[in-house]
């Protein structure tokens, strides 16, 4: 294999100049840079990234810890983060926490042992009481809603405003008895509680009653649970003409459950989800949903993490970033 010295001799420059070209140093003349790049190509020189990272005390790898890899939302999120990380020549190692507080804390405590330069952690089990556990000696970016005011950067969705917009869309389409399918009720702030707040605000804004029978809590946010809940609502005789689902995964199950019960969507019941996963566009009927701009969230999370790794913002205040959103209107609400 060719070495830096071989490239330097072939290009007629010093080894330091070759190193400056490899590291994209700005103080290299264009003609010199082109000579070095040409010599690298002729000699088939390959940069030893591992050795370069070790010299910097880095591995070039970041961790991504998510509740599950077997879901449309987290699959899309992982793809977006991997693409964003490639811009920094960072590789991504994915861990599954199972939405467990213990596993999320383990991902935090073990990141150094796993040789990550930093960690992007999607929290579900951890809560505000765990803020002190976030004080680690390496960069961490939190994705999720449960950690507020902690000593790390935080990237979140506009859950309240977007859920209010989703519910308002159902109201504008003529729905007056709108059910919401959400996760289990807990004491901590989470995705379900924030989206429930947006749902309530939309109903109050339209002067519609909030019937407790219309709020359905599920232990798991899965397609199977959504389908079962939809069938049970119909079988119980519950009067509803719209459904806001806390995730697209739940909404997919609801569409199946309503079909099983002989309920037509959108003619009898209109359904909207949240996340805009790719599968939503190809369902029959296609699913109206909230697009929280996954790509922007992924890019911002990686930008923040890479900035901390490079220490380009020493001592900078930690950032709270809230993404934008849009209502995607499809067939399930009459689009």
Do the Cβ atoms of 96 and 69 come closer than 8 Å?
Answer: yes
Task: Tell me the pLDDT tens digit for each residue of 190-241.
Answer: 889 999 999 999 999 999 988 889 999 999 999 999 999 999 999 999 999 9
58 — pLDDT class (breaks 50, 70, 90): confident
Long-range pairs for 91-95: beta carbons < 8 A, 24 or more residues apart: 91/60, 91/61, 91/62, 92/61, 92/62, 92/63, 92/64, 93/61, 93/62, 93/63, 93/64, 94/63, 94/64, 94/65, 94/66, 94/69, 95/63, 95/64, 95/65, 95/66
pLDDT recorded at residue 316: 65
Query: Nearest to residue 180, comparing CAs of 161, 167, 194?
Result: 167
pLDDT at 249 over 60: yes
Residues in the chain: 335
pLDDT tens digit string along 4-17? 889 999 999 998 89
Cβ pair 266, 124 in contact under 8 A: no
Q: What is the mean pLDDT of the chain?
A: 89
Kindly tell me if the per-residue pLDDT of 282 is higher than 90. Answer: yes
Of residues 110 and 235, the one with the higher pLDDT is 235
CA triple 182-266-327, angle to 5 deg: 60
Q: How confident is the model at residue 182 (pLDDT cuts 50, 70, 90)?
A: very high
Query: What pLDDT sits at residue 296?
Result: 94
pLDDT of residue 217: 94
Q: For strand 178-182 and strand 215-217, is the pairing parallel, antiparallel, or unpaired?
A: parallel
- Cα separation, 135 vs 152, in Å, equals 8
Amino acid 288: pLDDT: 98
DSSP string, 263-332: --TTTT-EEE-SS--GGGGGSSSPPBEEE--HHHHHHHHHHHHHHHHHTSSTTPPPPEEE---EEE--GG
Please write the tens of the pLDDT for every residue from 130-148: 888 888 888 999 998 766 6
Confidence class for position 97, pLDDT limits 50, 70, 90 = very high
CB 181 within 8 A of CB 249: no
Any idea of the CA torsion for 37, 40, 42, 48, to the nearest 10 degrees?
-150
Interval 173-195 mean pLDDT: 89
Backbone angles phi, psi at 120, to 5 degrees: -105, 120
pLDDT of res. 210: 87
């Amino acid at each position: 294999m060719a070495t830096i010295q071989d490239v330097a001799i072939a290009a007629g420059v010093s080894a330091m100049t070759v190193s400056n070209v490899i590291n994209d140093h700005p103080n290299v003349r264009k003609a010199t840079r082109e000579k070095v790049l040409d010599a690298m190509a002729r000699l088939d020189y390959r940069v030893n990234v591992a050795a370069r990272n070790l010299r910097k005390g880095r591995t070039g790898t970041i961790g991504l810890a998510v509740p599950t890899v077997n879901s449309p939302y987290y699959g899309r999120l992982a793809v977006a983060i991997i693409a964003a990380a490639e811009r920094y020549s960072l590789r991504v190692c994915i861990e599954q926490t199972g939405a467990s507080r213990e596993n999320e804390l383990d991902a935090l405590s073990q990141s150094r042992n796993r040789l990550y330069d930093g960690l992007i952690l999607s929290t579900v089990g951890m809560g505000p009481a765990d803020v002190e556990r976030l004080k680690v000696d390496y960069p961490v970016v939190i994705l999720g809603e449960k950690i507020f005011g902690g000593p790390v950067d935080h990237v979140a969705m506009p859950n309240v405003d977007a859920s209010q917009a989703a519910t308002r869309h159902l109201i504008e389409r003529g729905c007056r008895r709108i059910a919401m399918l959400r996760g289990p009720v807990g004491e901590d702030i989470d995705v379900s509680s924030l989206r429930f707040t947006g749902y309530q605000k939309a109903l109050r804004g339209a002067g519609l009653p909030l019937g407790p029978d219309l709020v359905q809590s599920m232990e798991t946010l899965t397609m199977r649970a959504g389908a079962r809940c939809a069938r049970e609502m119909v079988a119980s005789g519950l009067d509803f003409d719209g459904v806001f689902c806390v995730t697209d995964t739940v909404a997919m199950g609801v569409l199946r459950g309503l079909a099983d019960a002989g309920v037509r969507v959108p003619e009898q019941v209109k359904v909207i989800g949240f996340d805009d996963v790719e599968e939503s566009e190809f369902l029959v009927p296609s699913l109206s949903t909230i697009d929280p701009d996954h790509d922007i969230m992924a890019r911002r999370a990686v930008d923040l993490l890479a900035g901390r790794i490079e220490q380009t913002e020493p001592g900078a205040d930690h950032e709270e970033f809230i993404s934008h959103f849009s209502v995607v209107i499809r067939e399930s609400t009459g689009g």
